[in-house]
Amino acid sequence: MEFTDLEKLIKTRRSIRAWQDKEVPEKLLMQAIELATWAPNAGNQQNWHFYIVQNKETIKALTDAVQASADRITSWPEAKKFGDAATTWKQKVGFFGTAPAIIAVTASQYQSIADRLLAARGESDPQARQTREWRNSADSRIQSVSSAIAYLLLILHQMGLGAVWMTGPMQAKGELEKILKVSSGKDLIALIPVGYPAEKPASKDHKPVEEVTEVIH
């Protein structure tokens, strides 16, 4: 692949939130996931697990669980001060239910040797506690799975499919894990609705690289 081809692939990918009423072949989704599992990951733990959901009743159950959570949150008295923003969020939160497929992504527990040493040190050592907090702010297991998701989005785009990376549904994490029958020791961290795009979102403004980069000499 030439650099210009890679550049085009990356710059033309969009978050898709509307899909055609057209089934996505399971084989394509499996191929995409297989390639995504070549992503870099901490300690080569490959601590990801993917759930492909195409059953309409299951997709509806996932959507209903997220909607119920949003309904509950916006029923709180505190929601009034957010006005129309809270109402709009509540109305749009279940949009992913129209996708013909959903890929749910989970992360298994992972502790490096440094994590285990710091845990063994306990709370009595302030320096160890601070070090542990620093490491926790850059959770390696979430970073590992996130790298696979980033790969997955590009692969799906190359296949002509449209997807969006969703963490919002984690407000109903417990209920979603029950519906998906996520096994013990795994945490659901994202839902990725997938399908053939029914929209072509325009490119959004990007910050210049000079604004987000510092060269330290």
- At 150-207, the pLDDT tens digits run 999 999 999 999 999 999 999 999 999 999 999 999 999 999 999 999 999 998 899 9
How much is the pLDDT for 147?
97
Position 73 in a domain? yes
- State the pLDDT confidence band at 54, using cuts at 50, 70 and 90: very high
Chain centroid to CA 61: 19
How far apart (Å, rounded) are the C-alpha atoms in residues 107 and 41? Answer: 11
Closest CA to 140 of 118, 120, 156: 118
Closest CA to 100 of 189, 198, 190, 177: 198
How many domains are contained in the chain?
Answer: 1
How much is the pLDDT for 210?
95
Q: Residue 95: CA atoms inside 13 Å, Cβ hemisphere, count?
A: 18
Instruction: Provide the angle, in degrees to the nearest 10, between the axes of the packed helices 3-12 and 140-158.
Output: 100
One-letter amino acid for residue 165 of the chain: W
Q: Is the pLDDT of residue 115 over 90?
A: no
Position 7 in a domain? no
Closest CA to 101 of 70, 59, 68, 138: 59
Position 41 in a domain? yes
DSSP assignment of 103-134 equals: EEEEEE----HHHHHHHHH-SS-HHHHHHHHH
How much is the pLDDT for 194?
98
75: containing domain: 17-111+139-201
Task: Name the phi and psi angles at 201, rounded to 5.
Answer: -60, 140
Which helix or strand (DSSP H or E) is residue 163 part of? strand 162-163
Position 159 in a domain? yes
Position 42 in a domain? yes
How much is the pLDDT for 168?
96
Position 118 in a domain? no
| In contact, 192 and 167? CB cutoff 8 Å | no
Closest CA to 45 of 150, 104, 115: 115
Q: What is the mean pLDDT of the chain?
A: 95
Q: What is the CATH number of the domain that holds 156?
A: 3.40.109.10
- State the pLDDT confidence band at 136, using cuts at 50, 70 and 90: confident
Position 81 in a domain? yes
pLDDT over 90 for what percent of the chain? 86
164: tokens are 């969006």
How much is the pLDDT for 122?
85
Alpha helices for 13-125 (secondary structure H): 26-36, 56-74, 83-92, 113-121
Position 36 in a domain? yes
Predicted TM-score of the model (pTM): 0.93
Q: Is the pLDDT of residue 213 over 90?
A: yes
pLDDT over 70 for what percent of the chain? 100
